[in-house]
Amino acid sequence: MTAETPAADFQEEADDFSGISDHGKAILLASILIVALCGIVYELIIGAVSSYLLGNSIYQFSITIGFFMFAMGIGSYLSQFIRNNLIEKFVIIEIILAIVGGICSITLFLTFPFSPYMYRTVMMAFIITIGTLVGLEIPILTRIMAQAEGTRKSIAKVLSFDYIGALIGSVAFPLMLLPSLGLVRASFAIGLINIFVALLTIIFMRNYLRFPKIMMATVLFIAVSLTGLILLGSRISAAAQQHLYFDQVIWKKDSPYQSLTMTQSYGNNDLRLFIDGHLQFSESDEHRYHEMLVHTALAPSGPRENVLVLGGGDGLAVREISKYTDVMRIDLVDLDPEMTKLGSEFPPLVKLNRDALADSRLTVYNMDAFNFIKDADLKYDRVIIDMPDPHNEAISKLYSVEFYAMIARKMTDEGIVISQSSSPYFARNAFWCVGNTLAEIFPETRASQVTTPSFGVWGFQTASKRAGRLDADYNFDGVKTRFWTPEVAKAANVFGKDISKPVPGSKGDPVNTIFDPIIYHLYLKDVTTSAIKRSPES
């Protein structure tokens, strides 16, 4: 017999698939494509949930993909021990995968509030289980196809359809599944796709099954259950959010960039914004943060006609800027259009920001701040940077020497820039790294702090293009505030011993660059150390 003779290739198989029709072969190839699609989407869902809840997306996706591939290797190895009833075993694997994969997202969300350690254990269990099941499927399908039409053709087709399916899944997840379904319903939907593959296999390959009626009933029951979960997805997500946030969730949106959630407490109507599960502001004390952020930079005398805000799509910083009548132009740059839409259209937030995003002086740009500042054709008198903490390497570029150098080139000679810089208490080294990095570009820098009940001690770094500029008299007449005064601003420059600037190491004060994102590592180390100090065990 030649190498293309199926019987010669897989004599050890107890099953004989040489008689599978062309229609059956097409079903198997389609199954390979869908199996690959589902596998990659499960990876992305677990990685996205972990990024939302734990932060540090590069780390979370690296761990997820690495262990998923490892588990696939385990599954591929174990497949050699499956010799009989391959199609039946494939259907069983699809059923288990549909159940485990379908519930992975909601289970992770429900687990997180109990303990981060419990979350990581459950996350790893899902990664290993789903990866092993996916790893089992491809070798089994390859062996079936090899008997049906020969090893050379089957391997070529299996690998081709496997890669195509992975491409479709990786593109469909951010462009279609996540925006339209969200993470919870997306996992239910992918589970339903796995069940659909099992259903087609039972229908067209029933002659190779020992208990087709029982398997059909099982598959139909699971399909109906998953369909019901998809239809009830909004209610299930709402229940999970209540479990996650404790307060009442009043608005939720998953954009291509982040997960946005607005909550309101039952007792005092405290409005809160969460991005990727992390608190951004609380209505009860946000004025302390935003007044310190804005007025510290705008109150000093001098030109302030043109103001740039990087981040701050909620409109709360713009609310404070709009109090200055001599400001002629405000440019707001926020990557996510859903964030600025929330700030301009969601009634509770519009009330809180006093409809600031409708200010006639304001222009909104939904684009990456790095690209905006690189191409900006206007020079600004004041720059407000209200970006997320540098909890991953992608965001750390917005705290780099290169970024600050670009900002300096787009500032007037009397320009002042201020950046939120995380907490000098919980992220002490990262906070002072921002100041060190600004000092590489600007001749004058100054650190300040404010205490907010929601966040604790929070810090800012201010810099100017001309030395002595930060000591200018305040032009603050007629501007109404709830917290900030010139006296408060001066007192905010004083730091206690436990949050003051650390003594430089052997290499001097750390400076963050795009090529060496040291602030990201400092931030992770600071936050981890703070968490250990606050844990009950310690």
**Phi, psi at 17, each rounded to 5°:** -110, 15
Record the tokens describing residue 310, joined without a space.
Answer: 């990087």
19 falls in which pLDDT band (50, 70, 90)?
Answer: low
More confident residue, 260 or 57: 260
Q: For the residues 403-428, what does the mean pLDDT come to? A: 96
Please give the Cα distance from 380 to 407 (Å, whole number).
Answer: 9
pLDDT > 70? residue 157: yes
Are the beta carbons of 110 and 122 closer than 8 angstroms?
A: no
Handedness of CA 171, 176, 179, 181 (dihedral sign): negative
Question: What's the confidence (pLDDT) of residue 518?
Answer: 92
pLDDT > 60? residue 9: no
With a CB cutoff of 8 Å and minimum separation 6, the contacts of 470 are 300, 416, 444, 446, 462, 464
Nearest to 271 by CA among 229, 233, 316: 316
Are the beta carbons of 304 and 418 closer than 8 angstroms?
A: no
Least confident of 62-66, 133-137, 439-443, 530-534: 530-534
Q: Where are the domains of the chain?
A: 6-239, 246-280, 283-534
Are the beta carbons of 340 and 334 closer than 8 angstroms?
A: yes
Nearest to 147 by CA among 251, 269, 287, 14: 14
**DSSP letter at 357?**
G
Give CA separation, 214 vs 96, 202, 209, 221, in Å.
15, 10, 10, 11
- The half-sphere exposure of 149 on its side-chain side, counting CA atoms within 13 A, is 19
pLDDT > 70? residue 532: no
Least confident of 151-155, 305-309, 500-504: 151-155
278 falls in which pLDDT band (50, 70, 90)?
Answer: confident
Radius of gyration of the chain (CA): 28
With a CB cutoff of 8 Å and minimum separation 6, the contacts of 499 are 424, 425, 428, 449, 457
Please give the Cα distance from 408 to 416 (Å, whole number).
Answer: 9
More confident residue, 531 or 90: 90
Question: What's the confidence (pLDDT) of residue 16?
Answer: 63
147 falls in which pLDDT band (50, 70, 90)?
Answer: confident
Please give the Cα distance from 339 to 327 (Å, whole number).
Answer: 24
245 falls in which pLDDT band (50, 70, 90)?
Answer: low
Give the whole-number percent of the chain exceeding pLDDT 70. Answer: 91
4 falls in which pLDDT band (50, 70, 90)?
Answer: very low
Q: For the residues 216-240, what does the mean pLDDT come to? A: 85
DSSP-assigned letters across all residues of 211-247: -HHHHHHHHHHHHHHHHHHHHTHHHHHHHHHHHHHSS
Give the whole-number percent of the chain exceeding pLDDT 90. Answer: 57
Average pLDDT for the chain: 88
Q: For the residues 412-418, what does the mean pLDDT come to? A: 97
More confident residue, 14 or 525: 525
pLDDT > 70? residue 533: no
6-239 is classed in which CATH architecture?
Up-down Bundle (1.20)
Q: For the residues 246-268, what does the mean pLDDT come to? A: 80
The tens digit of pLDDT for each residue in 354-387 reads: 999 999 999 999 999 999 998 888 999 999 999 9
The tens digit of pLDDT for each residue in 41-51 reads: 999 999 988 88
Query: What's the fold here for domain 283-534?
Result: Rossmann fold (3.40.50)
Residues marked as catalytic = 386
Please give the Cα distance from 334 to 373 (Å, whole number).
Answer: 12
The tens digit of pLDDT for each residue in 69-124 reads: 999 999 999 999 888 888 899 999 999 999 999 999 999 988 887 777 788 999 99
pLDDT > 90? residue 461: yes
**DSSP letter at 175?**
I
- Alpha carbon dihedral 187, 190, 191, 192, in 10-degree steps, equals 130
Question: What's the confidence (pLDDT) of residue 73?
Answer: 94
Nearest to 188 by CA among 177, 179, 197: 177
User: What's at 204, amino acid-wise?
Assistant: F
Q: For the residues 325-329, what does the mean pLDDT come to? A: 96
Are the beta carbons of 256 and 48 closer than 8 angstroms?
A: no
With a CB cutoff of 8 Å and minimum separation 6, the contacts of 536 are none
Q: For the residues 437-462, what does the mean pLDDT come to? A: 95
**Phi, psi at 276, each rounded to 5°:** 55, 35
